[in-house]
Amino acid sequence: MPISIGAPRLLLRRLREVMAERESAQARLDKVVVLIASNMVAEVCSLYLRRRDASLELFATEGLNPEAVHNTHLKAGEGLVGLIAEHGEPMQFADAQVHPAFSYRPETGEEVYHSFLGVPILRGGHTIGVLTVQNRTQRHYSDEEVEALQTTAMVIAEMIASGGLVVSEEGGQEARREQKRPKQAAAGPEIVWQDRQGRVLVAEVKGAQGSALRDFSDRLRQRENVAAVVVAAVGDGKLSLVVNVDRSLEGVDAVAIVRELGPIIGGGGGGRPALAEAGGKNTGAVRDALAAGRDLLSSALS
Question: Whole-angstrom Cα distance, residue 137 to residue 133?
Answer: 12
The pLDDT of residue 178: 41
Beta partners for 49? 57, 129
Res 207: pLDDT: 83
85-112 pLDDT, tens digit per residue, is 999 999 999 999 889 889 888 888 888 8
Q: How is 87-103 classified by DSSP, letter by letter?
A: HTS-EEETTGGGSTT--
* Overall fold of domain 7-163: Beta-Lactamase (3.30.450)
pTM of this prediction exceeds 0.75: no
pLDDT at 195: 93
Alpha-carbon distance of 38 to 127, in angstroms, equals 25
Contacts of 272 (CB under 8 A, 6+ apart): 100, 101, 102, 103, 254, 255
- What distances in angstroms separate CA 293 from CA 13, 147, 189, 285, 288, one per listed residue? 52, 44, 20, 12, 9
CA distances from 183 to 61, 71, 110, 180, 187 (A): 21, 10, 24, 9, 12
User: Per-residue pLDDT tens for 170-197?
Assistant: 333 343 444 444 444 445 688 999 999 9
Distance, in Å, from the CA atom of 20 to the CA atom of 239, rounded to the nearest integer, reads 41
Kindly report the backbone phi and psi dihedral angles of residue 146, in degrees, each rounded to the nearest multiple of 5, phi listed first: -60, -45
Q: What type of residue is 23? A: E
Closest CA to 275 of 247, 244, 301: 244
Q: What is the predicted pLDDT for the residue at 174?
A: 40
Report the alpha-carbon distance of residue 242 to residue 271 in Å, rounded: 10
Domain ranges of the chain: 7-163, 190-301
pLDDT number for residue 7: 60
Task: For residue 82, give the 3-state DSSP assignment.
Answer: helix
Full DSSP string of 45-70? EEEEEE-TTS-EEEEEEESS-GGGTT
How far is 138 from 160, CA to CA, in rounded Å? 31
Sheet (strand 56-62) strand order? 73-74, 56-62, 44-50, 126-135, 115-123, 91-93
Which residue numbers in the chain have pLDDT < 50? Answer: 1, 3-6, 164, 166-186
Q: Domain spanning 190-301 has what CATH number?
A: 3.10.310.40
**Closest C-alpha to 270, from 135, 93, 79, 131:** 79
pLDDT score recorded for residue 40: 84
